[in-house]
Amino acid sequence: MSAPRIVVMGPSGSGKTAVGAALAVDFGVGFVDADDLHPAANVAKMASGSPLDDNDRWPWLDLVGAELTRNAGLVVACSALARRYRERIVAAQPSTIFVELLVSRDELDRRMRSRQHFMPPALLDSQLTTLQHLEPDEPGVRVENVQGVIQTAGRARSALDAYLSRTR
């Protein structure tokens, strides 16, 4: 696979940034953390303990789609929790492929409590309520993130290679 456009997705604490950065190195493409694309109002809202709604997310998802379109190859770490959000990204860049990171609720909670981030652990349940797992008819793969970053990125790469060989 050359110059892929990949969105590593999942709830906060799933390892999107670490695994996404490792995949970007593996593929030799750039990396963007979609957290950096949030407007200040979104960050403030989440930091205050309030979940985002669709009206908050649409402009942010449009920025994610624009980043994917602007780059011939790119890995983006983006929650993309609901199918409608993934459809918005794919509408902007149809060649986008998703990698959903699967992590248990207890592990997500542990990870969120052990780091400094604007997303407080109190919002985990709202993220899990919003989460719609990647469906078989969507472009992408699902990978458990239960080992180290390099091992998970390697499994993601293998799953992506297998997915692309089936869809070509």
Residue ranges per domain, the chain?
5-167
Q: Which of 98-102, 146-150, 160-164 has the lowest mean pLDDT?
A: 146-150
The yes-or-no verdict on residue 47 having pLDDT over 90 is no
Would you say the C-alpha torsion 145, 150, 156, 158 has a positive or negative sign?
A: negative
**Identity of the amino acid at 134:** L
Q: Is the pLDDT of residue 153 over 70?
A: yes
DSSP string, 8-32: EE-STTS-HHHHHHHHHHHHT-EEE
Question: Could you tell me which of 66, 145, 143 has the C-alpha nearest to residue 99?
Answer: 143
Task: Write the pLDDT tens digit of every residue in 1-40.
Answer: 457 999 999 998 888 999 999 999 999 999 999 989 988 8
Q: Is the pTM of this model over 0.85?
A: yes
Per residue in 63-93, pLDDT tens?
999 999 998 899 999 999 999 999 999 999 9
Name the fold adopted by 5-167.
Rossmann fold (3.40.50)
